[in-house]
Structure 1
Amino acid sequence: MIRWLIKYVVIFVVLVLIQVLFLNQMQISGYLNPYIYILFVMLLPLSAPRYIVLLSGFLIGLTVDIFSNSLGLHAAATVFIAYIRPFIIRSISDREEEINDYPGLKQNKFSWFLYYSAVMVFFHHFILFYLEIFSFTQFFSTLLRVVLSSLLSVFVIVLSQFLIFRE
């Protein structure tokens, strides 16, 4: 239990530091904003109680909000993906397919993890960017921003699974 807690505290701190110190400074032409901190919610064990997942999503989103001065936008988007995570996992997993308790790339098929990442990241970015704009007047430009940022974020998340998270 303590080993599990220490592991996730380290992942939390590292992802927040990477997001705040490096990735928040990297805005490519206003459309590409990579967000890797949501990987924390995505990698929580499937057996984790739902309130732990929701609370973890809130805490990491709030931490990024504090450093980004974004007034709860990241917390709202991260809690949303923490809430829909079980539904997404059930919808993308076959009944006969055996899903590991840890939803990482090494423990599951590449196609499963890629689809899981793409769906989670898209929902996160959709909520985040539309809450940020809080209007549908620029719907298509915001949707373009969601799609492009989602592609970059999924690329960075999958790359991090190959390079860092080799559990």
Structure 2
Amino acid sequence: MPPARPLRADARQNESRLLEVAARAFARSGPDASLKAIAQEAGVGIGTLYRRFPSRETLIEAVYRSEVDRLCATAPALLERLEPLDALREWMERFVDFMAAKHAMGDALRAVLTSEDDRMRTRGLLRDALAVLLRAGAERGTIRPEVDAHDLLLVLGGIALIAEGPDRRDLAVRLLGLVTDGVRA
């Protein structure tokens, strides 16, 4: 089977818009959000959506992967403008927000991300993003060098579960404050 051809620039822009709009729609309405409304808001026809994402499940999976990649890519960008401990705190808040948005899609995501390989890939990406932040803080002397990225990811997952729901973000922020104090050198 020949390798897939790269998407044209306009097709990449359409895909990017579809993923952004779909992420907002799924966060707002859950996995049953209207695909027709997503296509309309993205400025494309429903046929374009289905050509790129043949099923609701493929769109949900693509949104999830895109959001994970986007979250992980913020780690180095945060370090460019913030001190490592502040960058870590900002990234942790974004992680909790990401998890809250994904909660509404829980059953759909479980159905899509059924393989252990998928889960391990995602955990690896998130762990690696945290490791970048932790390493920078350890090098600057602001984060304890023994803090393990995998352990911290587990803590963040627990906070995301404890603080589920739109009215619980204050609790998540308070808990993240405790975590921040705990990793401080």
TM-score range relative to shorter protein:
0.3 to 0.5
Structure with more helix by fraction:
2
TM-score, normalised relative to structure 1: 0.46
TM-score with structure 2 length normalisation? Answer: 0.42
- Larger RCO (alpha carbons 8 Å, 6+ apart): 1
